[in-house]
């Protein structure tokens, strides 16, 4: 696979386990907003790589990534120590199922994320095309502690007509302590936002988070008449399976 050595240009820690880093962008590297690449480090010369969604948009000069620190993780335990000027290897072949082309245009688009599954949705909500394809975009981000609400200030500043941002925290006192997926299924999410209940005829859903949430929401949507995008065609919802690789 075509890996290109790139330099780290900045590192920002959101909490003791969640951090963002930016790197230079390989020459000629193009991608669609919402896609992921594999990237890695070469300790002792051997490449250790994992899939990472790209946080930045395809118009940005640098690449931006969101990571969790797993203390004994083969990659993230090392990635957590990177500093400006260090090298990372970025695979210049991007892919993923959370791009604008993976759901049909519709009324309201629901982006449901847990933890660092937020990453591809930041790329999407930063791009103008998203708002041209949907009347409203609702981004629901569920984490355990509020320090892990990465990009919270940016998302609160963007919250308005086109984008509605709903942060939820499950293990600390917070205005909303329910999981986003539960709020979607119970209908509480739509009540809270003053929006009509999600309808597969008109609305669309993208899912990126821990495997349990991905599975639960996919099953729920299928049981309620939503068609998942697959190789046979574009449907009403899509889920990123590769996210499970972010966690080691």
Same CATH fold assignment for domains 3-91 and 100-241: no
Domain segments of the chain as ranges: 3-91, 100-241
DSSP conformational letter for 47: -
CA-to-CA distance for 73 and 52, rounded, in angstroms? 15
Q: What is the pLDDT of residue 161?
A: 83
60-73 pLDDT, tens digit each: 999 999 999 999 99
The CA-to-CA distance between both ends of the chain, in Å, stands at: 20
CB of 61 within 8 A of CB of 130? no
CA-to-CA distance for 62 and 56, rounded, in angstroms? 7
The CATH architecture assigned to 3-91 reads Beta Barrel (2.40)
Q: What is the pLDDT of residue 245?
A: 46
154-187 pLDDT, tens digit each: 999 999 989 999 999 999 999 999 999 999 999 9
CATH of 100-241, one of 3.40.50.80, 1.20.1050.140, 3.40.50.720, 3.30.499.10: 3.40.50.80
DSSP conformational letter for 144: S
Q: What is the pLDDT of residue 36?
A: 96
Computed over every residue of the chain, the mean pLDDT equals 95
């Amino acid at each position: 696979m075509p890996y290109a050595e790139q330099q780290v240009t900045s590192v920002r820690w959101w909490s003791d386990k969640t951090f963002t880093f930016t790197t230079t962008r390989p020459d000629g590297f193009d991608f669609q907003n919402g896609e992921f690449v594999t990237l890695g480090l070469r300790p002792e010369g051997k490449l250790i790589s994992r899939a990472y969604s790209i946080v930045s948009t395809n118009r940005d000069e640098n690449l931006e990534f969101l990571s969790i620190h797993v203390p004994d993780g083969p990659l993230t335990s090392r990635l957590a120590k990177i500093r400006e000027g260090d090298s990372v290897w970025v695979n210049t072949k991007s892919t993923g199922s959370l791009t604008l082309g993976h759901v049909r245009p519709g009324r309201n688009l629901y982006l449901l994320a847990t933890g660092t599954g937020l990453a591809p949705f930041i790329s999407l909500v930063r791009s103008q095309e998203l708002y041209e394809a949907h009347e409203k975009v609702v981004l629901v981000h569920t984490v355990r502690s509020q320090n892990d609400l990465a990009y919270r200030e940016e998302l609160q500043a963007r919250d308005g007509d086109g984008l509605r941002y709903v942060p939820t925290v499950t293990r600390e006192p917070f205005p909303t302590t329910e999981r986003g997926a539960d709020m979607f299924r119970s209908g509480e999410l739509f009540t809270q936002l003053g929006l009509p209940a999600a309808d597969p005829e008109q609305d669309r859903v993208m899912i990126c988070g821990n495997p349990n949430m991905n599975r639960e929401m996919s099953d729920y949507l299928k049981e309620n008449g939503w068609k998942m995008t697959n190789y046979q065609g574009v449907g009403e919802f899509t889920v990123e399976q590769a996210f499970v690789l972010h966690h080691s």
